[in-house]
Structure 1
């Protein structure tokens, strides 16, 4: 039964996406006029052209057994005039969109750190509804964060160039004419930091990698209504360092958290029955992000100074959380990488910058957690 529900949700999402697509009003007028003329032709048409001095005086159209010939002629003339008007609109709109496509920019930021998506780059999956010249701004960190050669500090330095690269791509283009589309398959702390870097880049559209279909997708599904539940926040004391475990796409490993952060209080924010490859709703992600911010604000009000973030979430939500995080009004935050089966399950983290212009810092976990 569940597959039927998901199929129905996908069908409804596809319908609304089709209904909301950008339409050319000229083509609409032309199709309506053609339909009207086709409707007139359902009867036996008689067309008479009278001429004076070699020039057409008027065109007379009539339908046997139908409307009076004068009415039919007027309707036919109006429909043909409407077709011409629609044709003019189509040409004008086409030329305007061509100018916009030349003026506007679409910066496509694909973040590569884990899976090789070179066969299906993000830039090739951008919908035609995005008008503008596509600029490939991919960031490939796989050589820096592979299991054989881990250099997170170098990866962070590479990510720091992202805002500057986007400004260079924009050049003299107005900010309103710049659209950023981003997505990636990368370590969660780096995705969160990339989100922070994209916070001031205006309009940002998030896409994600569908693990089942092995293709990029926009977040167009219908909101399921599922929200985070919150546990254990009332036990937090002032000045505590706190572990915040967010289970969005799968459950955070509580045993690994206890082994890595002995003695630290744990606050859990989790979706009931989280599932991988399931968060494809823009509205749902926005609601979950608001809950995440509410918890950070609550921890700030309780006097918490440091949050150790364990984030089990899809890439798009990790980036969204990073965009929403405000270090000026929220506790200091470190986002951790999980490695299954390691002696230290969360071996390293990224300390998010506290001030504008500061750099993120790579922190090995062994040197940070000493409260056993």
Structure 2
């Protein structure tokens, strides 16, 4: 059976076994009781002088009156329950807030309809938090990355935390969609780590629209393949992750000369291999387990090279355990540079509570 049909069968089973609302159950039960009587009929007439009669079976007081009345009462009661439920839902949604964090950099989210797509998934009033560094990017390269990080990215740590602390947990939702450089996106994932559930959206290059990373999207079951490129002889190592593209290992070896290199990769490197929430959760856990294993082996600093979609990068940042794992430096890739990994950002950890930026000479 193909993955598509397995997914469809799973959705049908979920629908059949999901918990039904009391109002719906009352209406269905009432319609079942009242329906047969309402559909009963008697037809009499003449056909070529002969008497013609078509009718349902005769009933009694219970079947003709009491059962239909009970059915009608159940239908009305069900309608009342549904109406009350909808009113309460509308009232609660009017109090809900959606903290929508958008990142504008490598391209802009303005006018792309992200807010409209978010409203189809989450209910509540959108509270936008725009991180716009477009003025600091030229030809796809971040100008003065250290200044950009310190002035526009790092302050978001306290701002987002304050917003979420002030809101009621049951009424505050978080959503993210953006086009920021990998190190900045990973950092924002660190910031959102312990702030509850995050609904993530990514840009669909094929259809040129925003798409929800959802459990309804098919999980192809793919996991990371692990390989050791160069054994580490120190307490530092380079971890290369290939999701959307296969990273050029020779380029990494030249850029990080003398360092041990580990590589985890997907066999199929495509732009559209990441829409399943179940898959992203599995890959995020595998990534975290890899960092944990390296930490247990005595590695204190992981130089992280990530080739992945924005949503994956964010979720990897959320899964990184800054309390128990080795320090992580996430690097920016700039193909035209003499050194293709010219700068990176520290993940939030005990030693780097306010992160920090690393500039590497050519």
Q: TM-score range by the shorter chain?
A: 0.7 to 0.9
Superposed counterparts of 1:200-239, under 5 Å: 200-220=194-214, 221-232=217-228, 235-237=231-233, 239=234
Distance 2:113 2:266 in 1: 31
Distance 1:207 1:351 in 2: 24
Matched, 1:80 2:76: no
Cα 1:356–1:232 change in 2 (3 A) is closer
Q: 1:68 aligns with which of 31, 38, 59?
A: 59
Distance 1:195 1:20 in 2: 35
Task: Encode CA deviations 1:222-281: one digit per residue, 9 max, x unaligned.
Answer: 3221111111178333x3321110112221111221221122111111111222221111
Q: Name 1:370's counterpart in structure 2.
A: none
Aligned-partner SS, 2:135: coil
Aligned-partner SS, 1:103: coil
Matched, 1:194 2:194: no
Aligned-partner SS, 2:137: coil
Matched, 1:334 2:326: no
For residue 344 of structure 1, report the CA deviation from its aligned partner.
1.7
Matched, 1:120 2:117: no
Residue 238 of structure 2 contacts residue 259 of structure 2 at CA under 8 Å; is this kept in 1? yes
Q: 2:123 aligns with which of 131, 144, 150?
A: 131
Q: 1:26 aligns with which of 18, 23, 26?
A: 23
Q: Name 1:43's counterpart in structure 2.
A: 40
Aligned-partner SS, 1:137: strand
Q: 2:88 aligns with which of 92, 96, 107?
A: 96
Aligned-CA RMSD value? 3.2
Q: 2:277 aligns with which of 274, 282, 307?
A: 282
Unaligned runs of 5+ in 1: 47-62, 368-372
Distance 2:209 2:179 in 1: 12
Aligned-partner SS, 2:250: helix
Q: 1:349 aligns with which of 326, 344, 354?
A: 344
Task: Encode CA deviations 1:199-242: one digit per residue, 9 max, x unaligned.
Answer: 121221222221111222222323221111111178333x3321
Task: Encode CA deviations 1:91-137: one digit per residue, 9 max, x unaligned.
Answer: 21122112211322221112222122322242211254533322222
Distance 2:351 2:24 in 1: 49
Distance 1:339 1:100 in 2: 47
Q: Name 2:144's counterpart in structure 1.
A: 151
Residue 230 of structure 2 contacts residue 261 of structure 2 at CA under 8 Å; is this kept in 1? no
Cα 1:205–1:145 change in 2 (3 A) is same
Cα 1:72–1:325 change in 2 (3 A) is same
Distance 1:76 1:259 in 2: 82
Unaligned runs of 5+ in 2: 44-53
TM-score, reference length from structure 2: 0.83
Aligned length: 347
Aligned-partner SS, 2:239: strand
Q: 2:315 aligns with which of 298, 316, 320?
A: 320
Distance 1:160 1:20 in 2: 46
Q: Name 2:49's counterpart in structure 1.
A: none
Cα 1:149–1:206 change in 2 (3 A) is closer
Cα 1:253–1:24 change in 2 (3 A) is same
TM-score, reference length from structure 1: 0.81
Matched, 1:297 2:289: no
Distance 1:162 1:335 in 2: 18
Q: 1:262 aligns with which of 229, 253, 257?
A: 257
Q: 1:358 aligns with which of 353, 357, 362?
A: 353
Residue 21 of structure 1 contacts residue 129 of structure 1 at CA under 8 Å; is this kept in 2? no
Cα 1:164–1:79 change in 2 (3 A) is farther
